[in-house]
Amino acid sequence: MIRYWAICQRDLLATWRKKSGIYQPLVFQLLIVTLFPLGLGAGAQTLAKISPAVVWILALLGTLITLEHIFKDDFEDGSLALYVRAGLSLPMAIISKALAHWITTGLPTVLFAPIIGILLHLPETAYGVLMLSLLLATPIFSLLGAVGSALTINLRSGALLLSVLVMPLLAPVLIFGAGAVLETALGNSAKGHLLLLSGALILTITLAPFAAAAAIKVNME
Amino acid sequence: MCKRSGEALFAPVSFTVKGGELVVIAGPNGAGKTTLLETLAGLRPLSSGNLSFEANKNWNDWLENSHYLGHKLGNKGILSCLENLKFVLEIYGHRYNRSEGKMALEQVGLNGYEYQLASELSAGQKKRLALSRLLLLKHSYWLLDEPFVNLDQMGCEWLYQLIKKHINQGGSVILTAHDQQKIHQMASQHIILEQP
Amino acid sequence: MNKLIRLYHQIGSPPSFYQISGYFLKPLLSLAIVLFVYGLIDGLFFAPEDYQQKDAYRIMFVHVPSAWMSMFIYALMGLAALITFVWRIKVAEAVMMASAPIGAAFTVITLITGMLWGKPMWGTYWDWDARMTSELILLFLYIGVMAMYSAFDDDPRKAARLTALVVIIGLVNLPVIHYSVYWWSSIHQGSSVKIIGTSGIKDWDMLRPLLVMALATKFYYGYSMLHRARSYLLKTEYKKQWVHLILGLHETKEKTNE
């Protein structure tokens, strides 16, 4: 277990040294959110109506731009070969890399979401569910992103392809997640949505590491 | 037999490596030296034939007892030399202590660079950093892909000595090279890859 | 049993697949054309008018069979992908790659005819109803599959294996996407005008052209897929002897098994 923790720890240290990996998605979200009032008009009512969806979509897009490099650097500098040679199980190594990615991008996104919510006049009652739904969903982003990243490690610019590959997979997550926030904002219970989101999380944790491992194996051949 | 992109790369080869032997894989560019070495390292599947390791041991023992150093060195640019070594030891499940790491760096001629980021090293120094893993992990079988590339005269000389010492201690080395006269003289076996 | 194994090996090897599939091309194409012509004439002129939608419903004879095909082809492609990934059979790889553009084309036809049908029926070209949305996502899946393959220009074998993985991931996700989209639309959507589903058709005169068209599209797919798979094999095996024999000397009868 300690051996896998070492991978996560090293990734955290590497991201911490680079910093850009942490603040880039947040700055990106802030930039886009500014465009909404500019394009829609600053009426609090209009913004409040679209806010659950926008906060969610921004969290998704913010993560999407960071996915490409989850495995690419490791593939290019030979670290992936090192993991295989050290006898590590690839799916487990993938989980620890996804964990590091989640800590450096998912967690900040969850913590940052209320700020985006305030800017968009998200109804006060919805903040708890917003953070809870993102807390459940951001690990899914990281894991599915790991699959997309693993598929595209061999490509020089795989960013667009990665989005094409990952987007259909993320559609259900968006439906449940943004739905949960919307229902709460409308004064309904979001329990069903959140349960489905948890189900999606469990399904992803069980399947995604193996899919990513298969992709990496093919890519290393 | 090995394949690259589904095409047979070279004529079938067969060899046995014993303790204390140095095997040099030679052949022109594109002959499949790296592919053969990667296959031996377990990084790609064998398309036909078999690999075996000491009759009563299995494939995992081979992985555990051999160390592979490829073109991609496996150094993380954003980490310092010592941190790189620490990481490698940790994923192998070994304990890391700093003085041991420092000693390994000193042996490869990187003293004074312990806290330098790996990305700031020169190409030859990066190679030396990667080679220092051999000293730390103490595996008995070394698989080295073009270990002399990027090393200067002194570095090459040092590596000859290192390999010689390793062999004299009963270890084995399989490496690829093309025009290293000296290593060919030292070799106990040559494998020349030919067109299929 | 022995015969079966031999047949399996024959179909699995590119040269014999190339040879055997060659015999099927013309019959499949002619069947497809005949059925298309019959189905279209029957559907557009002779099938009775719908009491609610008048003549506008006749686009169904193109729309519904393509919609079926768009999903049928993905399922078939998924099967080929599994075989590609697990057993690395080249012919399965060819079938998978040949199916993707045809499936994408049927998906596009489904979407376009759906939009054209939507205008007179719902008063709008596009309505985010569950069927249209999941069909659109299906199109994204097809695009992803094709993009994955074309992203690799240097190593077709690797590209095919990765593409197979993408197809399989899509296959696992398809039900999740499907149900989540249906569930989503049942919550967010007021009841939009529901098309009279195919299950609602009782009139044999209406059903007949639909089934004929469904058969025609199957045959067309068979023809087009085999044709593409053959050229895929030629392209990826161009170094092999059998390709030289076929292209150069037409000596397909001998030496097919190099």
- pTM for the full predicted model: 0.85
Checking if the pLDDT of C250 tops 80, the result is no
State the pLDDT at residue B12: 75
Q: What is the mean pLDDT of residues B9-19?
A: 76
Are A150 and A216 in contact by the 8 Å Cβ rule? The answer is yes
Hey, how many other C-beta atoms are within 10 angstroms of the C-beta on B153? Answer: 7
pLDDT band for position C252 (50/70/90)? very low
H or E element: which one contains A128? Answer: helix A127-151
Are A149 and A70 in contact by the 8 Å Cβ rule? The answer is yes
Helix axes A69-76, A90-101, angle to 10 degrees: 120
Chain B residues within an 8 Å CB radius of C161:
none
Report helix, strand or coil for B5. Answer: coil
Per DSSP, helices labelled H in A41-89 are: 44-64, 69-76, 79-85
- First vs last C-alpha separation in chain C: 25
Mean pLDDT of chain A: 89
- Percent residues over pLDDT 70 in chain B: 92
Give the Cα separation of C215 and C64 in Å (integer): 12
Give the Cα separation of A92 and A98 in Å (integer): 10
Residue A199 amino acid letter: G
State the pLDDT at residue C199: 47
State the pLDDT at residue C19: 86
Q: Which residue of A has its CA nearest to C145?
A: A165
Give the Cα separation of B105 and C29 in Å (integer): 71
Q: What is the mean pLDDT of residues A193-207?
A: 93
Mark A20-55 as b/e (b = at least 16 C-beta within 10 Å): ebbeebbebbbeebeebbeeeeeeeeebbbbbbbbb
Domain residue ranges in chain C:
24-226
Best-predicted range by mean pLDDT among A27-31, A76-80, B136-140, C150-154? A27-31
Checking if the pLDDT of C75 tops 90, the result is yes
State the pLDDT at residue C255: 45
Chain A residues within an 8 Å CB radius of B90:
2-3, 6
Chain C residues within an 8 Å CB radius of B6:
156-157
- First vs last C-alpha separation in chain B: 10
CATH topology classification for C24-226: Four Helix Bundle (Hemerythrin (Met), subunit A) (1.20.120)
**A101 CB burial (10 A radius; 0-12, 13-18, 19+):** buried
Q: What is the pLDDT of residues C104-115, one digit of tens each?
A: 999 999 999 988
pLDDT band for position C51 (50/70/90)? low
C-alpha separations of A78 from A30, A74, A214, B70, B119 in Å: 35, 6, 18, 8, 14
- Chains contacting B (3+ CB pairs below 8 angstroms): A, C
Write out the two tokens for B149.
């590339």
Question: In this predicted model, which residue has the larger pLDDT, A200 or A221?
Answer: A200
State the pLDDT at residue B8: 64
Mean pLDDT of chain B: 80
DSSP letter at A106 equals: I
Give the Cα separation of C90 and B194 in Å (integer): 27
State the pLDDT at residue B4: 42
**Residue C101 at interface with chain A, using a CB cutoff of 8 Å:** no
A219–C169: do the CB atoms touch at under 8 Å? Answer: no
Checking if the pLDDT of C232 tops 70, the result is yes
Mutate to test the interface with A, among B38, B58, B68, B78 (most CBs of A within 10 A): B78
Q: What is the pLDDT of residues C13-47, one digit of tens each?
A: 888 888 888 899 999 999 999 999 999 888 888 87
Q: What is the mean pLDDT of residues B106-110?
A: 82
The tokens 């697949």 sit on which residue? Answer: C17
Chain A interface with B: residues with Cβ < 8 Å? 2-3, 6-7, 10, 13-14, 17-18, 76-79, 81-88, 220-221
Mark B170-187 as b/e (b = at least 16 C-beta within 10 Å): ebbbbbbbbebeebeeeb
Query: Which domains, ranges and CATH numbers included, belong to chain B?
Result: 1-65+140-196 (3.40.50.300), 75-137 (no CATH)
- First vs last C-alpha separation in chain A: 27
State the pLDDT at residue B2: 38
> Residue C228 phi/psi, 5° resolution?
-65, -40
Distance from CA of C14 to the nearest CA of B (A): 14
The tokens 């569930």 sit on which residue? Answer: C183
Give residues with Cβ within 8 angstroms of B161, minimum separation 6: none
> Residue A107 phi/psi, 5° resolution?
-60, -50
* Phi-psi label, residue C173: left if phi above 0, alpha if psi -120 to 50, beta otherwise: alpha
Q: What is the mean pLDDT of residues C149-164?
A: 86
Chain B interface with A: residues with Cβ < 8 Å? 41-45, 60, 63-64, 67-68, 70-79, 83, 87-88, 90-93
Question: In this predicted model, which residue has the larger pLDDT, C153 or A70?
Answer: A70
Are A138 and A156 in contact by the 8 Å Cβ rule? The answer is no
Q: Which structural domain range is residue A68 located in?
A: 2-220
Q: Which residue of C has its CA nearest to A212?
A: C165
State the pLDDT at residue B177: 79
Hey, how many other C-beta atoms are within 10 angstroms of the C-beta on C4? Answer: 8
The tokens 């064998």 sit on which residue? Answer: B46
Q: What is the pLDDT of residues A146-163, one digit of tens each?
A: 999 999 998 887 888 898
Whose CA is closest to C116, among C38, C56, C70, C173?
C56
Checking if the pLDDT of C97 tops 90, the result is yes
Question: In this predicted model, which residue has the larger pLDDT, B34 or B50?
Answer: B34
State the pLDDT at residue C121: 78
Give the Cα separation of C235 and C225 in Å (integer): 15
The tokens 């030859």 sit on which residue? Answer: B124
**Number of domains composing chain A:** 1
Q: What is the pLDDT of residues B124-182, one digit of tens each?
A: 888 888 888 888 888 888 888 888 888 888 888 888 888 888 888 888 888 887 766 77
Whose CA is closest to A58, among A136, A2, A114, A126?
A114
Whose CA is closest to C71, among C162, C174, C222?
C174
- Percent residues over pLDDT 70 in chain C: 87
Mean pLDDT of chain C: 83
Write out the two tokens for C48.
């009775």
B5–C239: do the CB atoms touch at under 8 Å? Answer: no
> Residue B141 phi/psi, 5° resolution?
-115, 125
State the pLDDT at residue C187: 65
CA C25-C27-C29 angle, to 5 degrees, is 65
Give the Cα separation of B150 and B58 in Å (integer): 35
Sort strands B7-8 and B3-4 into parallel, antiparallel or unpaired: antiparallel
Checking if the pLDDT of C88 tops 50, the result is yes
Chain B residues within an 8 Å CB radius of C157:
5-6
State the pLDDT at residue C258: 39
Are C32 and C216 in contact by the 8 Å Cβ rule? The answer is yes
pLDDT band for position B55 (50/70/90)? low
Q: What is the longest distance spanned by two Cα atoms in chain B?
A: 50
State the pLDDT at residue C1: 54
Give the Cα separation of C43 and B89 in Å (integer): 72
Whose CA is closest to C193, among C32, C95, C31, C56?
C56
The tokens 């008995």 sit on which residue? Answer: B140
State the pLDDT at residue B196: 65
